Amino acid sequence: MERSKHTMTIKENIELGGDQPVLFSGPCAVESMDICLEIGSTVKALSEKHGFEYVFKASFDKANRTSSDSYRGIGFDKSLQVLQTVGKTLNVPIVTDVHESYQVEAVAAVADVIQIPAFLCRQTDLLIAAGKTGKAIKIKRGQFMAPEDMKYAVDKVRGTGNDNVALTERGFSLGYHNLVVDMRALPIMRQFAPVIFDVTHSVQQPGANKGSSGGQRQMAPYLARAAGAAGVDGFFIETHPNPAIALSDGPNMIPLADMDSFLAMLKSAWELGNQFKNYSLL
């Protein structure tokens, strides 16, 4: 699959779409300082071991939970303080998502990459507000969006003068608590911007646990290998020391103890895809 003509620069020294894959990884949500530092320090070391650039990920607020009773976070200000501390302590870039335009300015003061959630990828005001920050913007493809239509989400950000944008694939939904990944979406979207594959949310089962989301963690290696071999620029992985007690998205997380072998596998698949990056039948 031919590379996108575009790249995304993160914190001046990381290039998404360059010669090294970028890993966006951490817990689903900011649970505590200790959990974030434990996960971040472990994944940073593993990323260096296996040849990934690393960006720490955690959501400051889980605003799109299935049930209003589900965990959302420790609070806006406290979560941003945790993210800022993790970034400075580990010397790593930070990515977190925004849900409303008023949040963008405060988040941009802490995060190096602003993520637009899949459900909000058509929200013009949110995309424009994010683009105006000048930060790298990572847009998840909506479960309801055709891959070719993500061009218009990219155009909204670039219309602000910010060319630093990437897309993320996580599958589409036909309802019935399931997501389906169509690998054709990867080369289609890569025409517009660098592409990241969301390993863990692609195996999520939204709402399948009677008020919370389930997941098929056992399927993650298959989809991750396929995406790596198809040729993507980065990977998004949520991980936790004990997914069974994680406060959000535990069923589809990769256990932290398995990340070493998982990243070794993923790098091999990415290298295969990179080897044939310019192969085409067109």
Angle, to 10 degrees, between the axis of helix 259-275 and the axis of helix 220-230? 30
Q: Which residues pair with 116 in a beta bridge?
A: 139
Please indicate, yes or no, if residue 155 is contained in any of the structural domains. Answer: yes
182 falls in which pLDDT band (50, 70, 90)?
very high
According to the model, what pLDDT value does residue 278 have?
A: 81
pLDDT tens digits for 202-247? 888 776 566 556 778 899 999 999 999 999 999 999 999 999 998 8
| Paired sense of beta strands 113-116 and 172-173, if any | unpaired
Quote the domain boundaries for residue 189: 18-271
DSSP 2: P
Cα 25 from chain centre: 7
Q: Is the pLDDT of residue 3 over 60?
A: no
- Interval 83-96 mean pLDDT: 98
Beta bridge partners of 113: 95, 136
Report yes or no on 4 lying in a domain: no
Domain assignment of residue 7, yes or no? no
Residue 281 included in any domain: no
Q: How confident is the model at residue 266 (pLDDT cuts 50, 70, 90)?
A: very high
In a domain, 9, yes or no: no
Reduced to 3 states (helix: H, G, I; strand: E, B; else coil), residue 150 is: helix
Tokens representing 131 are 């683009």
Tokens found for residue 232: 């993507």
Question: Residue 66 carries which DSSP code?
Answer: S
Which of 101 and 212 is assigned the larger pLDDT? 101
Given a contact cutoff of 8 angstroms between Cβ atoms, the answer to whether 112 and 95 are in contact is: yes
Q: Give residue 249's pLDDT.
A: 77
How high is the pLDDT of residue 217?
87
Give the residue with greater pLDDT, 282 vs 261.
261
- What's the DSSP call for residue 188? H
Q: Tell me the residue type at 226.
A: A
Question: Considering the domain boundaries, does residue 242 fall inside one?
Answer: yes
CATH number at residue 59: 3.20.20.70
> What CA–CA distance (Å, rounded) separates 193 from 243?
32
Per-residue pLDDT band for 1 (boundaries 50, 70, 90) equals: low
pLDDT reported for residue 212: 58
Domain contains 183 = yes
Do 223 and 232 form a contact (C-beta atoms < 8 A)?
A: no
3 within domain boundaries: no
**Predicted confidence (pLDDT) per residue in 15-57, tens digit:** 999 999 999 999 999 999 999 999 999 999 999 999 999 999 9
Q: What are phi and psi of 114, to 5 degrees?
A: -105, 125
Please classify residue 282 by burial: count the beta carbons closer than 10 Å to its beta carbon, then call 0-12 exposed, 13-18 middle and 19+ buried.
exposed
Total domains, the chain: 1
| pLDDT surpasses 90 at 251 | no
Residues 13-19: contacts with CB under 8 Å, at least 24 apart: 14/53, 14/55, 14/93, 15/53, 16/53, 16/136, 16/166, 16/194, 16/196, 16/233, 16/234, 17/166, 17/194, 17/233, 18/233
